[in-house]
Amino acid sequence: MKTDLPVHGTPEVPRATRLDRPEWLKVRLNTTGEYEDVRRMMRRLSLVTVCEEARCPNIHECWARERTATFMLMGDVCTRHCGFCAVGKGRPGGLDSEEPARVAEAAAELGLSHAVVTSVNRDDLPDGGAEHFAATIRTLRVRNPEITVEVLIPDFQGDAAALETVLDAAPEILNHNMETVERLYRRVRPDAGYAQSLALLRRAAARRDRDRPAMRTKSGVMVGLGETFDEVVRVLEDLRAAGCDIATIGQYLQPYERRLPVERYWTPEEFASLRRAGEAMGFVRVESGPLVRSSYHARRALEGPAA
């Protein structure tokens, strides 16, 4: 698939020339009490959500209308230095053995039928936090027997045994984000590797095909960091070749001044074209739109193609 979209450079954009957000990226905030109810519950249970830490534009919709949240395990300090992420960097604290029980309690209070669990990167831990993920999945199911679980995991530095630890706990969806195109990895994900992330998804798909055909694998990509349309299509092709079932594509939004700038806002029509391209490749579901994030409408990933 060819396009005449320009390849953008990588220099930092001065504050005075920062791009204005187009109308399709302006979000109407919820003014009812449900958002505050969820926020107070998270504070009471001492839980961290990626919704808050990543400054997700959908937080009011998800918390207020859908009563869903993406739980972020193992603290709010990450050991990596991704150029796009709002989460704090540095030396994390110790693991909280009671955290899985609090996540399970929050899921029960929210009445969740589908829970999404992610984490900061914990390269300081021998297994990258894999056993903590597995304990959370198991505890969620004990407290909420009918729940389905999606985990959005880091790459565990390529540790196949750590991935198997998570897969042994049998999540319904195993998600790991590619985040960007191969050409931009050094700039966007300096501590990660394109091939390593693909290898993780390929291993998960092989385990699915061998032991759990109902499990789905999932990955996501941001646009707006200087990639071309063709490069995004190439990521989708690589994901399908790795056995990935579900793809999410959304617009990158600069969280604050010292993160990578937005180089271009992609239009709703371009997102629709990417969705059609992905569906033609055979993905079970492609969520593609300006406000799409990894866990946006996550429960629908267990359903059929996006409408």
Q: Give residue limits of the domains in the chain.
A: 15-302
Is the pLDDT at 69 greater than 90? The verdict is no
**Residue 89 — pLDDT band, cuts 50, 70, 90?**
confident
Residue 279, both tokens? 């569906």
Taking only the tens place, the pLDDT of each residue in 6-32 is 334 333 434 435 788 888 776 565 555
pLDDT at 237: 98
CB 305 within 8 A of CB 285: yes
Question: Three-class SS string for the chain?
Answer: CCCCCCCCCCCCCCHHHCCCCCHHHCCCCCCCCHHHHHHHHHHHCCCEEHHHHCCCCCHHHHHHHHCCCEEEECCCEECCCCCCCCCEECCCCCCCCCHHHHHHHHHHHHCCCEEEEEECCCCCCCCCCHHHHHHHHHHHHHHCCCCEEEEECCCHHHCHHHHHHHHHCCCCEEECCCECCHHHHHHHCCCCCHHHHHHHHHHHHHHHHHHCCCCEEEEEEEECCCCCHHHHHHHHHHHHHCCCCEEEEEECCCCCCCCCCCCCCCCHHHHHHHHHHHHHHCCCEEEECCCCCCCCCHHHHHCCCCC
What pLDDT score does 63 carry? 46
* Region for 213 from its dihedrals, namely left if φ exceeds 0, alpha if ψ lies in -120 to 50, beta otherwise: alpha
Q: What is the pLDDT of residue 3?
A: 42
pLDDT band at 64 (very low <50, low <70, confident <90, very high): very low
| Of residues 142 and 50, more confidently modeled | 142
- CATH for 15-302 is 3.20.20.70
Please compute the mean of the pLDDT values over residues 281-286 and round it to a whole number: 96
Cα gap 109→155, rounded to integer Å: 31
Pick the more confident residue, 175 or 112: 175
- What pLDDT, on the 0 to 100 scale, is given for residue 283? 97
Relative to beta strand 70-73, strand 48-49 is antiparallel
260, two tokens: 């990578």
Judged against a pLDDT cut of 90, whether residue 260 lies above it is answered with: yes
Q: Which residues are paired to 71 by β-bridges?
A: 49, 117
Q: Is the pLDDT of residue 85 over 90?
A: no
Cα–Cα distance, 306 to 298 (Å, whole number): 11
Q: So what's the pLDDT on residue 101?
A: 95
Please give the backbone phi and psi of residue 115, each rounded to the nearest 5 degrees, phi first: -110, 140
Average pLDDT over residues 87-91: 87
Q: What percent of the chain has pLDDT over 90?
A: 62
| pLDDT confidence of residue 165 | 98
Tokens of residue 94, six digits: 């110790």
State the Cα–Cα distance between residues 188 and 251, nearest whole angstrom. 14
Mean predicted confidence (pLDDT) in 243-249: 97
| Structure tokens belonging to residue 171 | 């999540």
Instruction: Work out the average pLDDT over 204-229.
Output: 97
Which tokens is 110 given? 């929210």
Sequence letter at residue 36: E
Model confidence band, residue 235 (pLDDT cutoffs 50, 70, 90): very high
| Mean pLDDT score, 128-157 | 97
88 pLDDT tier (thresholds 50, 70, 90):
confident
CA distances, 179 to each of 65, 198, 207, 273 (Å)? 27, 11, 23, 19
Residue type at 151? V
Mean pLDDT, the chain, as a whole number?
85
| Per-residue pLDDT, 9 | 38
Determine the longest span between alpha carbons in the chain, in angstroms.
Answer: 54
CB 150 within 8 A of CB 298: yes
